[in-house]
A and B are shown apart, each in its own frame.
Chain A
Amino acid sequence: ETGVTQTPRHLVMGMTNKKSLKCEQHLGHNAMYWYKQSAKKPLELMFVYSLEERVENNSVPSRFSPECPNSSHLFLHLHTLQPEDSALYLCASSQVGTGVDTQYFGPGTRLTVL
């Protein structure tokens, strides 16, 4: 595997389900990000982990819970979601501390909440 991978690619869940999204980066980076991409809205940064510590949480509802067990893996745990949470969830990684942080994105998980 190369680059940034995300699983699953598609997920349909009910409002009472609990599920997790997984992201893995194979680039040797030290920062990882979760973004939400909804139709007709700009990309929204949700969480940032740098050196495995959460450094940003952009007022995201508590029904989204991130986890970064090491610099290569990032999870987004989902529970009691709402239909408006249906979106494409993108993971990205970058190497911070080297000047310009260039973010590289995974293919995304298309989430549908029924």
Chain B
Amino acid sequence: AQSVTQLGSHVSVSEGALVLLRCNYSSSVPPYLFWYVQYPNQGLQLLLKYTTGATLVKGINGFEAEFKKSETSFHLTKPSAHMSDAAEYFCAVSTMEYGNKLVFGAGTILRVKS
């Protein structure tokens, strides 16, 4: 079975500081990995995804994530936080073995302090 663990249900950073949201996955086969963002009262928006190839993936709004197979991790980073980054972030995994069904983590709420 596949699963996702997001460390920290809440993360607080100052504006301009580094953003680091942690995601670890469990999968017996090569995974596809995703980060989605959800702003209040909205749906999920795709930030970035890893399928194959380059392990450092760049997404929208200055976010990037690195797939580390040895650590089974796919942490999301952004060098400098903006107030507009305050939202909830979801990591998700899928595999062809499970019909590409998305399995989501519990989410991390990012707060940005001025």
Contact = CB atoms under 8 A, between A and B. Distances in A.
A110 interface: yes
A42 B100 CA distance: 18
Interface of B: 32, 34, 36, 41-46, 49, 51, 90, 94, 100-102, 104-107
A43 B43 contact: no
Given A102-B34, A104-B46, A110 B106 contact: no
Contacts of A41: 106
A42 B34 contact: no
Given A42-B107, A45-B102, A106 B90 contact: no
A99 B100 CA distance: 9
B106 A42 contact: yes
A23 to B, nearest CB: 11
Nearest to B42: A107
A49 interface: no
